[in-house]
Amino acid sequence: MSTDPGRGRTADPRPLTGEPLPLDLVNTVWIDEGVRHDLLERPDGLAVWLRSAGFADSVPADRESLDALLATRRAVVALLDGSADPQQAADELNEILGHGRIRRRLGEAGPLSVVETDSPAWLAAWSAAEAYLRLLDEHPDRIRKCANPECVLHFYDVSKNGKRRWCSMAGCGNRAKASRHYARHRQPRPANADG
């Protein structure tokens, strides 16, 4: 992993970041030139993800946090791609959701929603699971897998017309365009009938 210049921190190597929390967690696994990468298998990967997701100060980068995030990632992936029994995947997500809750309170400035989890190690994992439910409430049809069959990344389509197909136009979108262009221009020309 490369380091972030001037900060001494490991930079986030993933090709797609900034998606809603559950998809950002799912996207800790990606394919680059046919090679599978998993940010959470790298020595400093958990700390990198916690920092990029905004949990560096509230969630310890320890084994309990990693196990909780891996369980959440497995459950969300299973729900997204149908790779497991849907009821079993839902049960796994519900078990994760059982590790926390949102407590409503009245604060000095008005109503507050406070997330409480069994331990700080569950905060990021529980938050990702809860955010997945919110995405399902809002627009489940906008949760998409990249249209590139070689890509495993997911995104939440916030485009105005809801027609986004690629994890990124710069990556998979351009590859698809180039492939179509190559295929069009590679087709043999008809033989000249005159000789």
Q: Domain coordinates of the chain in residue numbers?
A: 21-143
Q: Tell me: the pLDDT tens digits for 112-148?
A: 999 999 999 999 999 999 999 999 999 999 999 999 9
Low-confidence ranges of the chain (pLDDT < 50): 6, 176, 181-182
The neighbour count for residue 183, using CB atoms within 10 Å, is: 9
Residues 168 and 114: their CA atoms lie apart, in Å, by 34
Non-local (6+) Cβ contacts of 170 within 8 A are none
**Amino acid found at 132:** Y
State the pLDDT at residue 181: 40
Rounding to the nearest 10 degrees, give the CA dihedral for residues 76, 82, 85, 86: 60
Rounded CA-CA distance 167/147 in Å is 8
Q: State what percent of residues in the chain have pLDDT above 70.
A: 83
Tokens at 171, concatenated: 């990556």
